[in-house]
Amino acid sequence: DAGITQSPRHKVTETGTPVTLRCHQTENHRYMYWYRQDPGHGLRLIHYSYGVKDTDKGEVSDGYSVSRSKTEDFLLTLESATSSQTSVYFCAISDSSNTEAFFGQGTRLTVV
């Protein structure tokens, strides 16, 4: 597996609380992505980064923010978690935007 670590792997949180998920890579890849996976929807892009401090929105970015202050770390923040954000979140990395992406093991987030 590529050197990608997601933390935490599981989290239960209450509605309205802030939550931050971390993705850490040891591959020095330029691109990092956050996807969410929900039954019947496949993987949908939340945000991505194409360099330190360079980020852009994906298909389902509402309610989420990201930060990338170092090449190796990409943080996903839910400012005020809602039940609709209960999902499995995957981080991915790639050398460039059109080569294969390598995925982390996922974070299962439950908002109650």
Partner 1 sequence: AQSVTQPDIHITVSEGASLELRCNYSYGATPYLFWYVQSPGQGLQLLLKYFSGDTLVQGIKGFEAEFKRSQSSFNLRKPSVHWSDAAEYFCAVALSGNTPLVFGKGTRLSVIA
Residues that bind partner 1 (CB under 8 A): 1, 31, 33, 35, 40-45, 48, 50, 58, 90, 92, 97-106
Output 14 or 40, the one with its CB closest to partner 1.
40
Minimum CB–partner distance for residue 38 and partner 1 (Å): 10
Output 18 or 38, the one with its CB closest to partner 1.
38
Minimum CB–partner distance for residue 47 and partner 1 (Å): 10
- Supply the DSSP string of 35-95, one letter for each residue: EEEETTTEEEEEEEEEETTEEEE-TT-TTEEEEEEETTEEEEEESS--GGG-EEEEEEEES
* Omega before 8 within 30 of 0, i.e. cis: yes
